[in-house]
Structures are given as C-alpha cells and as structure tokens.
Amino acid sequence: MKDIQIKDATIPALGFGTYQLEEETAHELVTAALATGYRHIDTAQMYRNEEAVGAAIKEATVAREEVFLTTKVLPSNLAKKTFLLSVEESLQKLKTDYVDLLLIHWPNAEVPVEEYTGELVKAQEKGYAKHIGVSNHTTALLDKVLATGANIITNQVEYHPFLNQDKLYHYLRAHDLTLTAYSPIAQGKVMGNATLKSIGEKHGKNEVQIALRWLLQQDGVLAIPRSSKESHMRSNFDVFDFELTPGEVQQIDRLKQENTRLVHPAWAPAWD
C-alpha cells in the first residue's frame, strides 16, 4: 500500500468507494475490503449506507485509528442551520466520534461558498473531522474556498484515463492539494480498451489494474474504486507490485483526448 502525505495528513492512496452499495452489500464489502488490506473507506450522506459502513468498521479486527474514513455532506445540508446537525447524525450512523476526512459533496448554488466552508471549518474545530476538503469543485470554486483560509487537503472529482483533468490537476498541485479520483475505472469502461489491454498483457494485469496504477503513479493522486463484487475489490488492490514505464504512461495519457465525462447531474457546476 502506498500512502500520500499532504500537509499533516497521511492518506492511503487506494481507497474503497461505497457509492450505490446498499446497506447489506456495503457491510459485506467493507468488511471484506478491510480484510483484504484497504485502510481507506469512502462513504457519504447521499449514499444512505453510513450505518452499514460504520458497523463494518466497528466490527472489524482492524483498529479504528488505522482506518482513514471519509464521508461527505449533502448539498441540501450545506446551509448553516443544517450543516453541523447533519454531520452529527453522520457520526452517530458511522458509530464513531470523528471522521478522518469530511467533504462538501457538491456545491450548492443557493448556499454561498463562504457559508458552507465556514461550517466545514467549524466541524473540524469541534473535532468531528480530522481533515476537511471538497468534492466536485472547479478551479473557480476552489479560489473562493481557499480565500476563506480553510485548510482543505483534497478535491474529490471524476478522473480516469478517458477524462482530461489537466487544468484542475495542475491547479491542485500548485496549491498543495491532492486529487481524489472517483469513477477511476470509468464505471467499467476501461475494460476492453486496446491500449490498456496491451499494456496489461506485458505486466500480467487487467485493464482496471492498469488504469488504477496510472492514477496512483501520478503525484498527489488518490483513487477510490467501487466494486459490488469481492473478487473485483481484491483484484483492484493488487496494483502495488508493478510500475508503468514512462512510455506506457504517455500511451495512457493520450486516451484523455476522448474527454468523456460520465458524472454530470443537473446540479453540477460549470466544469473546467
């Protein structure tokens, strides 16, 4: 396992995402993920599985302080009147006194950036979160977040070999922030890609493993693949015993020209 050091945080570079995993499945897979060796678990209020995720972590033989746990605040909970209450509810569901990382899940056009960032900082000051960050934020929104002085450590966004995030990535590195990649295997669309398959054959790996390795070799990038199958989850973890060559990285970089964005809900900001 590779860790990323960012400011005063140490984050396992590869995490297990729980999006679209219902309660029972989430419990089973988080339990299996921890047994496999994952130490970074990602959930959210929006996923409606915080109770199951929390139970799996509590029941595991792994100590709580060894698990880097992330949750995210719903856009509808970003206003002052609901923010901290929603975080307290999340902590109760997760059966923990704190999360390691608390994120703004999506910006909300009806709530000023300064308001929700202020509440995020309060949550950290109260000890509800060791570290704070945002998700689905553009460079323009990040300018506003950083102007408040909030000590965020990451921006969690869609990132995979078919999506060009160069502008955002370079902005984040320039401001000493990490990029956490969700949908890192393009919701399975990496499978069957000729470039990834060819490179994989040289390393004895599949296209998913090549895509994850490509992400993890980038400076300051974390990845949180989600899987609904234990076999896939274990395979996703098997990416630390090889390295892509500079030439192979360049081959994969060229796939970004497709610039395919898979996650674009009605409330999304104007992407970079």
Tens digits of residue pLDDT in 134-145: 999 999 999 999
Rounded to an integer, the average pLDDT of 230-253 is 98
* Among 165, 164, 180, 30, residue whose Cα is nearest residue 103: 180
pTM of the predicted protein model: 0.98
Per-residue pLDDT at 44: 98
Question: In degrees rounded to 5, what are phi and psi of residue 3?
Answer: -105, 150
Residue-wise pLDDT tens digits, 93-126: 999 999 999 999 999 999 999 999 999 999 999 9
Give the whole-angstrom CA distance, residue 183 versus residue 62. Answer: 26
* pLDDT tier at 1, thresholds 50, 70, 90: confident
H/E segment holding residue 73:
strand 68-73
C-alpha 175/C-alpha 156 separation (Å) is 15
* DSSP-based three-state secondary structure for 134: strand
Please give the Cα distance from 140 to 144 (Å, whole number): 7
Strand ranges in 137-194 using DSSP code E only, listed in sequence order: 152-158, 178-182
pLDDT in tens, 118-131: 999 999 999 999 99
pLDDT tens figures, 25-77: 999 999 999 999 999 999 999 999 999 999 999 999 999 999 999 999 999 99
- Judge residue 97's burial from the number of C-beta atoms within 10 Å of its C-beta, 0-12 exposed, 13-18 middle, 19 or more buried: exposed
Q: Per residue in 159-197, pLDDT tens?
A: 999 999 999 999 999 999 999 999 999 999 999 999 999
Q: For 201-229, what is the mean pLDDT?
A: 98
| Integer Cα distance of 10 and 6 in angstroms | 7
Q: What is the DSSP string of 196-248?
A: HHHHHHHHT--HHHHHHHHHHTSTTEEE--B-SSHHHHHHHH--SS----HHH
Cβ proximity of 194 and 207 under 8 Å:
no
49 and 23 in contact (C-beta within 8 Å)? Answer: yes
% of the chain beyond a pLDDT of 70:
100
Out of 38, 47, 128, 159, which one is annotated catalytic? 47
The verdict on whether 159 is a catalytic residue reads no
Stretch 145-167: mean pLDDT: 98
Examine the pLDDT at 208 and tell me if it is beyond 90. Answer: yes
Whole-number pLDDT of residue 220:
98
Q: Where are the domains of the chain?
A: 9-186+218-228
Neighbours of 159 (CB within 10 A): 24
Between β-strands 99-104 and 152-158, what pairing exists: parallel, antiparallel or unpaired?
unpaired
The CATH code that applies to domain 9-186+218-228 is 3.20.20.100
- pLDDT of the residue at 174: 98
